[in-house]
Amino acid sequence: MSQYPRNDVGSFVMNVYHGLVRYGTVRTKRIAKDGWAYFTVEWHNDEDYKEAIAWRAALTVGDDHTLEEYRGDNLTLISNPRRLSLAVDAHYHFLALPTRLKVKIS
């Protein structure tokens, strides 16, 4: 067994597309003849990505740049999704504090 965590069906993963962070769940995995693992992903709350792809299609005269499969090195495993949830909760809690950061102009 590898010491590094691996993506597999059911894994929670992320992908970054031109600065847009996407989160999803791996649906399928296949090993290609080139030796790489390829995955299909069910992306969650992915409207920003869809808008970016539509904009790119408009700029490139309708070319479709949507990927159906992602090579393993294009996905990052989130091994503990609960930790991500807790970090987001902590962020919103921090913003609600009356002593939150303020911009100081000097």
Q: By C-alpha distance, which of 41, 43, 42, 21 is closest to 29?
A: 41
What tens digit of pLDDT does each residue of 6-56 get? 889 999 999 999 899 999 999 999 999 999 999 999 999 999 989 998 888
Q: Is the pLDDT score of 104 beyond 80?
A: no
Nearest to 48 by CA among 71, 24, 17: 17
Q: CB atoms < 10 A from the CB of 23, how many?
A: 16
Residue 63, pLDDT score: 75
The more confident residue out of 19 and 106 is: 19
Q: How confident is the model at residue 1 (pLDDT cuts 50, 70, 90)?
A: very low
Q: Each residue of 62-98: pLDDT tens digit?
A: 677 788 999 999 999 999 999 999 999 999 888 888 7
19 is written with which tokens?
Answer: 């600065």
Instruction: Considering only residues 60 and 26, tell me which one the structure prediction assigns the higher pLDDT.
Output: 26
Integer Cα distance of 6 and 78 in angstroms: 10
Predicted TM-score (pTM) of the model is 0.80
CB pairs under 8 A, 24+ apart, for 49-55?
A: 49/17, 49/20, 49/22, 52/17, 52/18, 52/20
